[in-house]
Amino acid sequence: MGVAALKDLIVEKPVLDACCGGRMMWFDKHHPLALYVDIRSAPKGICPERPEFHVAPDMIADFTDLPFADRQFKLIAWDPPHILDLGANSIMCKKFGTLQSDSWRSVLRKGFNELWRVLDVNGTLVMKWNEESISVGELLKCFSPPPYLGILQAVNQKPIGSAFSNRRSPNA
Ligand SMILES: C[S@@+](CC[C@H](N)C(=O)[O-])C[C@H]1O[C@@H](n2cnc3c(N)ncnc32)[C@H](O)[C@@H]1O
């Protein structure tokens, strides 16, 4: 995609899904205000129990190094992989990706800092998390500033959380 086309796309899209995967958390999977990004695409058929599952981002990009200007988005949704050390051929990895034990902190710290950079003043970053491998307490040590609001809710006895952070001043 050329630079001009990219600029037009972003002006019309104030909402970023930074790792959209199969867009399962979206009620509207093609919301006109949203730009859907993932580090990969994947065709239908990779997930036998959900034959329609596929990954088709508007743009391939890495949330640790995004091709966007500072303060570009008003709202960012971030649902990164949350399970450590899955095998590349496992269904869970194919659906949701994985983090590595030896690098998850630096990946998520870099991701948070990059999303903070592209989040507008008074914009909001919403993160979804599941404590299958890493507790919310451990996770939050990676982020500064910390979220000011969160929801913890048990799903299949594993807490699932959403954290909300708001960028308050141009320098914060
Ligand atoms: C938990 S899944 C997202 C599920 C999605 N929110 C949904 O509703 O279906 C995590 C996604 O993050 C993507 N991902 C992993 N590392 C990434 C990175 N560095 N940059 C962008 N996307 C990444 C994976 O490819 C995977 O699709």
H-helix or E-strand containing 162?
A: strand 158-166
The encoded tokens of residue 101 equal 């034990």
- Residue 48: asked if its preceding bond is cis (omega within 30°), the reply is no
Centre of ligand 1 from the C-alpha of residue 19, in Å = 4
- CB of 22 closer than 6 A to ligand 1? yes
Residue listed under structure tokens 């030896």: 102
- CB of 131 closer than 6 A to ligand 1? no
Count of all residues that appear for the chain in the document: 172
The band of 4, judged by pLDDT with boundaries at 50, 70 and 90, is low
Angle at the Cα of 167 from the Cα atoms of 22 and 9, rounded to 5 degrees:
50
Domain boundaries, the chain: 3-166
Give me the CATH code for the 3-166 domain, please. 3.40.50.150
Q: What is the pLDDT of residues 21-80, one digit of tens each?
A: 999 999 999 999 999 999 999 999 998 889 999 999 999 999 999 999 999 999 999 999
